[in-house]
Structure 1
């Protein structure tokens, strides 16, 4: 299907009325923007579930200009839900779940290829799972403390402490690698 010149507002209105072409256009525009889960098959499942959720709850979106951020939040929440479920079943480690986030505020592929970024991301994988998750949400995805509290289901004080300790742990690991 060839992309249309319709703006996002028009497409979202068509999606609300059940227009499948508009839904496909939205999917094609946004489906590669966010990838958190490393397993490509599971990532595709989570992405499709997220789009289904977005399309069924589109009427709750108050500002269509925020669709991309709203969709990103749905994908992140679904990915974290997958991670939490997998952890309860002892199936996967955090470093196999968090893969990359590509958007205007995240790390793009050029930066990801730099040695410093690789060093930091590798060091983050060696942190405790909750430290790694908290830092990823805060530093890579740009969520504030309140949002992280909601996502991780922790108090504000615990969130600040977790992020602070995670940063210090990351600093220590980076210092050890540098020496």
Structure 2
């Protein structure tokens, strides 16, 4: 059997424990594992790729500095989601006015190459982005964590500092509002 076949990728708990001991390579593995997810969350919450990059860098820098405060090494991903979400919510609350949306800055799935289909998909994505901006920051965070990142209600509650019932309510209101705005696209 080749050596590469025997390579086992360590889980989050193992890597976090190594990071606590000062292992930079373990931290690099965690960054590679979660950087894309944190960036997608931040960029969708903030509608600003540059701010999202700044937030993600701050989150990972904070994670490196405060790894000793993490009580459960297996909860590393939830810890990152919580830090990213909280930083985004703080930034959204501090903004004076909403940022303009740059449709070219959002990632668009390309399922077909027909121009008319691409125009329709881009229009739908732009409408969804505008609709997401109309949600409260808390609703947007809960909706994105559930619908885009697949997190459970309890975990979202831990991330945003609310109970599961409040999270369900925020998501239900967000879904209703989004469904109303997106009716023309059905």
Which whole-Å CA distance do the structure 2 matches of 1:154 and 1:13 have between them?
A: 28
Taking the TM superposition and a 5 Å limit, the aligned residue runs for 1:28-177 are 28-35=32-39, 36-37=42-43, 38-86=47-95, 90-93=96-99, 112-113=109-110, 119=124, 122-123=127-128, 125-126=130-131, 128-130=134-136, 131-145=139-153, 160-177=168-185
Q: Tell me how far 1:50 sits from its aligned partner.
A: 0.8
Asked whether the 8 Å contact 1:94–1:133 carries over to 2, the reply is no
Asked whether the 8 Å contact 1:124–1:170 carries over to 2, the reply is no
Q: Give ranges in structure 2 of 5+ residues lacking alignment.
A: 1-6, 112-116
Q: Structure 2 length normalisation: TM-score?
A: 0.60
Report the number of matched residues: 161
Higher helix fraction (1 or 2): 2
Q: Give ranges in structure 1 of 5+ residues lacking alignment.
A: 101-108
Does structure 1 residue 27 correspond to structure 2 residue 31? yes
Higher strand fraction (1 or 2): 1
What RMSD in Å do the two structures reach over aligned CA positions?
3.9
SS where residue 98 of structure 2 aligns? Answer: coil
Which whole-Å CA distance do the structure 2 matches of 1:68 and 1:55 have between them?
A: 13
Which whole-Å CA distance do the structure 2 matches of 1:6 and 1:120 have between them?
A: 35
Q: Tell me how far 1:156 sits from its aligned partner.
A: 6.7
Q: Tell me how far 1:61 sits from its aligned partner.
A: 3.1
Which whole-Å CA distance do the structure 1 matches of 2:100 and 2:160 have between them?
A: 14
Rate the CA distance shift 1:92–1:153 in 2: closer, same or farther, 3 A.
farther
Q: In the alignment, which of 7, 17, 39 is matched to residue 10 of structure 2?
A: 7
> What is the match of residue 114 of structure 2?
none
Rate the CA distance shift 1:45–1:166 in 2: closer, same or farther, 3 A.
closer
User: Which string of whole-angstrom CA distances, capped at 9 and with x for unpartnered residues, describes residues 82-122 of structure 1?
Assistant: 22222xxx1434967xx87xxxxxxxx78x44579763672
Q: Structure 1 length normalisation: TM-score?
A: 0.61
Rate the CA distance shift 1:134–1:77 in 2: closer, same or farther, 3 A.
same
Rate the CA distance shift 1:54–1:129 in 2: closer, same or farther, 3 A.
same
Which whole-Å CA distance do the structure 1 matches of 2:74 and 2:153 have between them?
A: 23
